[in-house]
Amino acid sequence: MRSNDVREKYLKFFEKRGHKIISPAPLVLETDPTTLFTSSGMQPLVPYLMGEKHPEGVRLVDSQPSIRLQDIEEVGDNRHTTFFEMLGNWSLGDYFKKDQLPWIWEFLTKELNLPKEKLYVSIFEGNELVPKDLESKEIWLSLGVSESHIFEYGVKKNWWSRSGTPDQMPVGEIGGPDSEIFYEFTSVEHQHEFGSKCHPNCDCGRFLEIGNSVFIQYKKTDKGLEELPQKNVDFGGGLERITAAINNDPDIFKTDIYWPSIQKLEELTGKKYKDNMASFRIFADHLRASLALVNAGVIPGNKMQGYILRRLIRRMTTKFPEIDKIIDNTVIGDEIKKFKITLNKGLKEIGKIDKITGKIAFDLYQSYGFPLELTVELFKEKGQEVDLEEFRKEFEVHKDKSKSLSAGVFKGGLADHSPGVVKLHTATHLLLASLRKVLGDNVVQMGQNITKERSRFDFPNSRKLTVEELTKVEDMINNVIKRDLPVNFAVMPKEEALKTGAIHAFNEKYADTVKVYYVGSDLESAFSKEFCGGPHVAKTSEIGHVTINKQEKIGSGLLRVYVVISNQK
């Protein structure tokens, strides 16, 4: 069966069961500055899973293109990709387990005719906070899944949130236990290096996870997990993997999604897929991801999404420098041509060098734009190993000068997301709220820059603050810190956020849906509420004692103040 037929059958199946087909969200989510790409079907639906009304109703179905960069190193095996299409069905506080699990089972076994004996499921085994998911187990048993095909796992495998296990979830994040479905490829022999016994979550490749029903019913608060006002279902199934299961072939790259591009590359290079699997797979995945990014309007560059696109294109070009001959997309083609010039210069340099030290790897990175992983791979081919520790040291030394990816990712004037910076970030929200209370509503953020050492904040004020004003502001901030107020966020449409009285930076553009961070137990009476992408401390007592240690007039009627934390906890 072709992947297009699988997608169509899926959408129709759920449409017949009262779901509205919704269009996929863009791959680059402008509404969420905390992330580079849409990485799951649920991401664009977070506000609705939290209770906001979706214009299309409470039952939705879609197919969402997604990118997960954490899997980039795994690409090359039979099942991992950076780009994939996730088939999703959603209950926004409507149906729950006893409808959803039978439906997805019917879809897989009746609509797609996957043999029952090859399907396995898993459920959440429970922990001190959330009980074992016996209800799902009962449902699977009632559907004819045998006890030996039902496995129980803990939070690492059967809990889903965007940030991982419950303890990794920031306050405000939603998630819940899940029940996963796996397909067993009996042609794959279990490898004992992965463990003595094979099981659905074994990494040997015999089992492939093809779907995941997440029961999103919890929200993280400063007290732990709290039940959401509505119980949701978030099902996600990989289109590529489901198609591979239908073919009963464990190699997802043999599906019609990737196979034509692999065949074309075989023709061009004269090399065979079966002899160069990892390289061919990296090419097939990265090409598909690159095309999706270019279609989403991304241009190769040095920062953010552009940097990722450049990295994908460069990585596949290193594998097969001749690929520009079979790619007719000009954005990708031009980038390959440019990179090949760089690559040749770099290769010449490498040819002259006997031993590639970490410092040389760093120079190649800086001068020729060789990403470290490419350098490592090329040297490996030369039978050399790069001293990664030394590379990292060099990288640290030059970090400020080089435009590192992370420097581009973090918005809002934050140097990074280290604990010290996060504390100062929350302290800066308290500073702005206090300045407004002491000096008036004309205080707005005109600039902000936060490093590990201090926060710098600019606002309109034609004169310096008096000692009394400074003391008042500092006391107000430290008083809030002592009261140990929670810091939460809410995601909502911009119009609604403005109505709450939340303040925002004067000179920034915001998307239609925004995050409002507030300090206090509820949004309405919060001490501070601001449009912001985060991150922040969970409770104000984590900040320590705040001092305004310097102020200076910087022209155009602006005052700049510096804030430090004197006794960090």
251 touches ligand SER by CB under 6 A: no
**Which H helix or E strand runs over 546?**
strand 546-555
Q: Can you tell me the distance from the alpha carbon of 517 to that of 535, in angstroms, rounded to the nearest whole number?
A: 9
Rounded to the nearest 10 degrees, how much is the dihedral formed by the CA atoms of 184, 189, 194, 198? 50
Q: Can you tell me the distance from the alpha carbon of 103 to that of 88, in angstroms, rounded to the nearest whole number?
A: 13
CB 334 within 8 A of CB 317: no
Residue 237 beta carbon to ligand SER: minimum distance, rounded to whole angstroms: 8
In single-letter form, the type of residue at position 26 comes to P
Phi-psi category of 404—alpha, beta or left, where left has phi over 0 and alpha has psi -120 to 50? beta
Residue 161 beta carbon to ligand SER: minimum distance, rounded to whole angstroms: 9
41 touches ligand SER by CB under 6 A: yes
Among positions 33, 236, 300, 534, the unique one binding ligand SER when judged by CB under 6 A: 236
**CB count in 10 Å sphere of residue 70:** 8
CB 477 within 8 A of CB 506: no
Which string of DSSP letters, residue by residue, matches 459-517? EE-SSPPPHHHHHHHHHHHHHHHHTT-BEEEEEEEHHHHHHTT-B--TT----SEEEEE
CB-nearer residue toward ligand SER: 22 or 214: 214
103 touches ligand SER by CB under 6 A: no
CB-nearer residue toward ligand SER: 154 or 297: 154
Among positions 67, 145, 214, 548, the unique one binding ligand SER when judged by CB under 6 A: 214
Residue 212 beta carbon to ligand SER: minimum distance, rounded to whole angstroms: 4
CB-nearer residue toward ligand SER: 236 or 346: 236
240 touches ligand SER by CB under 6 A: no
In single-letter form, the type of residue at position 471 comes to T
212 touches ligand SER by CB under 6 A: yes
Among positions 160, 307, 320, 457, the unique one binding ligand SER when judged by CB under 6 A: 160
CB 519 within 8 A of CB 426: yes
Among positions 27, 42, 58, 336, the unique one binding ligand SER when judged by CB under 6 A: 42
SS3 208: strand
CB-nearer residue toward ligand SER: 162 or 393: 162
234 touches ligand SER by CB under 6 A: yes
Placement of tokens 């405000």 in the chain: 172
CB-nearer residue toward ligand SER: 35 or 449: 35
Within 13 Å of residue 242, how many CA atoms lie on the same side as its CB? Answer: 29
Residue 233 beta carbon to ligand SER: minimum distance, rounded to whole angstroms: 9
In single-letter form, the type of residue at position 64 comes to Q
- Dihedrals φ, ψ of 349, to 5°? -60, -45
Number of residues that bind ligand SER (CB under 6 A): 10
Residue 214 beta carbon to ligand SER: minimum distance, rounded to whole angstroms: 5
| Shortest-Cβ-distance residue relative to ligand SER | 236
Structure tokens at 264: 């074309």
- Crossing angle of helices 304-319/330-352, nearest 10°? 60
Residue 86 beta carbon to ligand SER: minimum distance, rounded to whole angstroms: 6
DSSP state of 24: P
- Contact segment (CB under 6 A) with ligand SER among 232-240, 247-255, 443-451, 452-460 equals 232-240
Window 1 to 40, contacts with ligand SER (CB under 6 A) = 40
- Contact segment (CB under 6 A) with ligand SER among 233-241, 282-290, 373-381, 443-451 equals 233-241
Window 62 to 91, contacts with ligand SER (CB under 6 A) = 88
Which residues of this chain interact with ligand SER, rule CB under 6 A?
40-42, 88, 160, 212, 214, 234-236
